[in-house]
Amino acid sequence: MRRCCGLSGSLFLWVGLFFFVLPVFPAIGAPTQDPAVRTIVVFGDSQAQGLARGLQRDLIEDPHFRILNRTHPGAALVHDRGEWLRPVEHFTDSEKADIAVAMFGANDRLDMRDDNGDYLHFRSDAWRRAYAARIDEILAALKKAGLRIIWCGNPIARSAGYSDDMKYINDIYAGEVKRFGGQFVSLWTAVADNDGHYAAYGKDRNGTTERLRGDDGIHFTSAGYELIAEKVIGLLTTAAANTR
């Protein structure tokens, strides 16, 4: 009996020592956040989705940046807030980033209803005020989260009428973004001919001539999105633009 008790006592002693010593060792593989890495989160519609993927491809070998794609194809500021504001609020409530890139408008040249249910016609003064107020909601949420804001305008399109509407919407973006201290990036002639007109083909980021715009005359090909992504990257890698 004494021998048995002695073994039990030794066993409890070793078990106690094991659990006492175990917490001293650091967890292996614990995630760490490198302060040298800047996180970029992208919000917006299908154009923004293409831009996010372009940024991911362009920066795939650059350890200084991490790209988070929080876009929603089909998102429109003329629709319910769940499409355009909720993704931003959900992100700022649960995740962190250094820079926010936004691109909307491809689906927004439509009439809409304001918060009171009143029907607003596209391009009317009331529509413009309501649309600007929705932009401000996004900008306010991003600014409150301490994010540097880069808002990309829409590029020229094959359709003259569509292009004219995008120019009208871009003008609203530029004014509101400036009021909130963000940066508005014009992509109007990012892919265009020498006279600034729409062009489906052009030189990619490697200098090779290929198709850069999609069949719809609005979106870009993968090579085209990589090209416009470079415009954004240029802002991130120049000292003059390295402010929030």
Alpha carbon 189 to its chain's center = 21
Q: What is the pLDDT of residue 100?
A: 98
Q: What is the pLDDT of residue 238?
A: 59
Which residue, chain included where needed, has tokens 């990309």? 152
Number of other residues whose CB lies within 10 A of the CB of residue 123 = 13
Radius of gyration in angstroms for the set of CA atoms belonging to the chain, rounded to a whole number: 25
Q: What is the pLDDT of residue 237?
A: 73
Q: Which two tokens stand for residue 123?
A: 């391009």
Position 233, amino acid = I
Strands 112-113 and 99-103: unpaired
Query: Per residue of the chain (244 residues), what is the pLDDT tens digit?
Result: 444 444 444 434 344 433 334 343 333 333 345 778 999 999 999 999 999 999 999 999 999 999 999 999 999 999 999 999 999 999 999 999 999 999 999 999 999 999 999 999 999 999 999 999 999 999 999 999 999 999 999 999 999 999 999 999 999 999 999 999 999 999 999 999 999 999 999 999 999 999 999 999 999 999 999 999 999 999 987 533 443 3
CA dihedral of residues 102, 106, 109, 115 (deg, nearest 10): -40
The Cα angle at residue 219 between residues 161 and 169, in degrees rounded to 5: 45
Bridge partners (DSSP) listed for residue 120:
112
| Domain architecture of the chain: domains with CATH | 36-238 (3.40.50.1110)
For 141-182, what is the HEC assignment?
HHHHCCCEEEEECCCCCCCHHHHHHHHHHHHHHHHHHHHCCC
pTM of the model: 0.83
Number of other residues whose CB lies within 10 A of the CB of residue 52 = 24
Number of other residues whose CB lies within 10 A of the CB of residue 101 = 29
Position 18, amino acid = F
The Cα angle at residue 119 between residues 116 and 125, in degrees rounded to 5: 95
Strands (E), the chain: 38-44, 65-69, 99-103, 112-113, 119-120, 148-152, 183-185, 201-203, 209-211
